Amino acid sequence: MPTIRIPGPLRSLSGGQSTVDVEAADLRGAIERLDEKHPGFKSRLLDEEGEPRQFVNIYLNDEDIRLGDGLRSPVKESDEISIVPAVAGG
């Protein structure tokens, strides 16, 4: 099953778990399943239009999903989905 890595600030929603396994065919489905298991995730991650919020970065394995197919990206058994807050740089 694809695994979702939960960042520290959201682990209060997942009962402290740092990873949650979900059964889904694409990323949007994965977030739906995550929200069914642990209610609250969807509204934290997605805006009113159902797109990832500005300060939420979602990675499928190593790839920022906004550089690819976004939430339509298909997910496989072995995939890891990471939710990472935006960080400053330089």
Partner 1 sequence: MARVQALRCRECGTEYQLQPTHVCEQCFGPLDVVYDYTEVTRGLRERIASGPPSMWRYRDLLPIPDGAPLVTLDEGFTPLVRAERLGAELGLRNLYLKNDTMNPTNSFKDRVVSVAVTWARAHGFETMGCASTGNLANAVAAYSARAGLEAYVFMPADIENAKVVATSVYEPNLIAVRGNYDDVNRLCSQLAEELPWAFCNINVRPFYAEGSKTLTFETAEQLGWQLPDEIVIPIGSGCQFVRHRRAAGELLELGLVPGDRLPALTAAQALGCAPVYNAWRDGTERVRPVRPNTIAKSIAIGNPSDGPYVVRIAKETGGLVEAVTEEEIVDAIRLLARTEGIFTETAGGVTLGVLVKLARAGRWKGDEVIVAYLTGHGLKTADALNGSAGGRTVEIDPTLKSFREVVAV
From candidates 7, 39, 50, 74, binder to partner 1 by CB under 8 A: 7
Question: Per-residue string for binding with partner 1, 19-48, x by CB under 8 A?
Answer: -------------------------x----
Cβ atoms of residues 76 and 2 within 8 Å = yes
Q: Does 72 bind partner 1 (CB under 8 A)?
A: no
Q: What are phi and psi of 8, to 5 degrees?
A: -45, -50
From candidates 17, 66, 69, 76, binder to partner 1 by CB under 8 A: 66
What are the beta bridge partners of residue 21?
Answer: 3
